[in-house]
Structure 1
């Protein structure tokens, strides 16, 4: 695999504000990543002659550093030009695109705890539109049946079970704001 290069001087920066509402408890562990994928498959090596296997789409995750503002708010910086477009395989320039930015919140960070994983897509980041994710409180701090459970929630409250009461939910809102370089 080639050594994919992060952009050392990104210019398309956004501050991402993470806001918790009605959380079931504190979150001592908050991580995050920007996921980038190659969007030009023609730059990848051809399929394997013997089995016809295609090369997997290269993907790179760049960490988001979350800074605590208070008990319910954190900020981080994301950028849409985080990877360098380059000829990595000798078949033409591979162009990267941001696929999503996401957070991963855990009660203490201990093994086995539920990971609450809200995300936001680049269209909303560029339009500076907030994305609210509804999550179930019952999985905090840990799902009793599934170790290291990943709870991704729902961004459309109307698609959730109508029997769920608002008191059984909490939200994580990711709000992007453009940053001048």
Structure 2
């Protein structure tokens, strides 16, 4: 007759993704209350078919570059349910009908020992700008994605967007994001006629 598994082992087998997990699902990450690495980001729109009713921004941080401070992977699934990212919404200042500004901190998250495995440090993974022609929450929005080099280089970056997408009806509400792109990618996708595009010039300064 087979010897039954001890209760603790049986429980681990049945509830491997919960009770016996090494992960912490709610680490309660903290923002840095005294950030110093500030960037002022300005977005200037040129040639859009109309104005924008809403302009919002966000920044996404990620633990890195090493993640040894985080809990180990799940012993059975091999996944890491503990989030390694944290996003913050950022208020934007409207300087004119075509110019918006917001502040971002490269050190906006608190370096801390969240899991008892060493100090977790953070880096900016992505900053995003959303421009909406209408205030309809399901309406179209133009997305500008800023990578860390574009935030740190202090150089202007120009993004291209389709003019005809500004007022085009949505095929489906879930397809409401229009991604902006570089000049080269725009030409590859839509041809060399740049009169079909409007631009968003982004400038990040200390």
Q: CA deviation at 1:163?
A: 2.7
- Work out the number of aligned pairs and report it: 178
Measured against aligned partners, the alpha-carbon deviations of 1:120-143 in whole angstroms (never above 9, x if no partner) come to 222222220112111112221454
Change in Cα spacing, 1:56 to 1:133, as seen in structure 2 (3 Å) is farther
1:161 aligns with 2:189: yes
Counterpart in the other structure of 1:86: 112
Alpha carbons 1:30, 1:105 under 8 Å: kept: yes
Counterpart in the other structure of 2:52: 27
Counterpart in the other structure of 2:155: 129
Q: Which of the residues 103, 106, 111 maps onto 2:137?
A: 111
> Residue 85 of structure 1 aligns to a residue in which SS?
coil
Alpha carbons 2:71, 2:82 under 8 Å: kept: no
TM-score by length of 2: 0.80
* Higher fraction of strand: 1
Q: CA deviation at 1:164?
A: 5.0
CA distance in 2, matches of 1:33, 1:142: 25
Counterpart in the other structure of 1:4: 29
Alpha carbons 1:106, 1:141 under 8 Å: kept: no
1:152 aligns with 2:172: no
> Residue 70 of structure 1 aligns to a residue in which SS?
coil
1:50 aligns with 2:76: yes
Alpha carbons 1:67, 1:76 under 8 Å: kept: yes
Counterpart in the other structure of 2:121: 95
Gaps of 5+ in 1: none
RMSD: 1.7
> Residue 51 of structure 1 aligns to a residue in which SS?
coil
Alpha carbons 2:141, 2:178 under 8 Å: kept: yes
- Structure 1 runs, 4 residues or longer, greater than 4 Å off: none
Measured against aligned partners, the alpha-carbon deviations of 1:22-69 in whole angstroms (never above 9, x if no partner) come to 012110101101110111221111111222223455211122211111
Counterpart in the other structure of 2:16: none
The higher-RCO structure (CA 8 Å, 6+ apart) is: 1
Gaps of 5+ in 2: 1-25
Change in Cα spacing, 1:80 to 1:123, as seen in structure 2 (3 Å) is same
Which protein has the larger Cα radius of gyration, Structure 1 or Structure 2?
A: 2
Counterpart in the other structure of 2:88: 62
Q: Which moved more, 1:110-119 or 1:142-151?
A: 142-151
CA distance in 2, matches of 1:111, 1:143: 14
Q: Which of the residues 155, 159, 165 maps onto 1:139?
A: 165
